[in-house]
Structure 1
Amino acid sequence: MSFGELAIKSSYDSDDDDILNDFYIPVLNNSVEYCRLAGFFFSSALAVAARGVQGLLKNDGKMKLVAGVVFKKEDINAIKEGLEKPEEVIKRAAINDIDSIQDEFVRNHVMALGWLIAKQKLEIRIAIVKDKNGIPMDMQTIS
């Protein structure tokens, strides 16, 4: 199915729409690349959108994320391990079938994060906001 065949609205309102099921999952199921800019990222988002991520991976797709510096320690560890020891992470995750990915991501989203990094299916870049003098700003300063 192409994007033109999807029932995509021009805008979504979380008060009125089920954005996950009406937008993200159908679009990810029909995508080969997902680029996102986020102030923060937690691996639990993978569990929530597992069905859409599964579709993206079935299409041999990749995700690219630019996020702020706010990460949970367990997510940082999973990212580091996925980068430094990809073979171990892939073996331990034991995800052999794309059809089982959704369940695995829901069951252990931290492991899923490391697996995506190890399989080079997720690229993460960190964005640091700086003031006019080049000094990094924290969330309170930005607000």
Structure 2
Amino acid sequence: MRSSSTLGILAVLSGALAAAGLALAPGAAAVSPGTATATYDCGSWGGGGATLTATQNGTAATITITSAVKTPIAVGADQIGATLTMAKAGGGTRVFTGKKNPPLAANQSVTIGPLGGTVASGDRLNSFFAGTALKMVIFGVTVNCDALTSQSPGPFVFG
């Protein structure tokens, strides 16, 4: 009888410790703002406004881009390889990559992502800097896009 009461006490203590651990576990980090806009120039492919949507889970982050740039031909799902380079406040860059897009009809606005990358708490990232912000490779053709404006309402700040 004594051993079953000891087991009961251990079970209650284990449950209490597990619950306390869950209560103290860090939640998923948040990025703010979740959505920003900027203007890009993609040379002969055109340009215009784009919406960037960011998410974060710990040090993993994703960015999806919906742009005014239109594909001149139909593009199948997951056929656009993309690299988004973002300037980090204080120096350096963070790079987001992937080959993820929905099927796109000819003359349809390009949507790319989610592109994956790694961030640190406190990173302030903006695609506006001296250099190519977005590089897309479509059927072997490289399309370079330069950000013409800073993100609005501001850079992505990762938690």
Higher strand share: 2
Task: Give 1 or 2 for the bigger CA radius of gyration.
Answer: 2
Same fold (TM over 0.5): no
TM-score interval for Structure 1 and Structure 2 normalised by the shorter chain: under 0.3
- TM-score of the two chains, using structure 1 as the length reference: 0.23
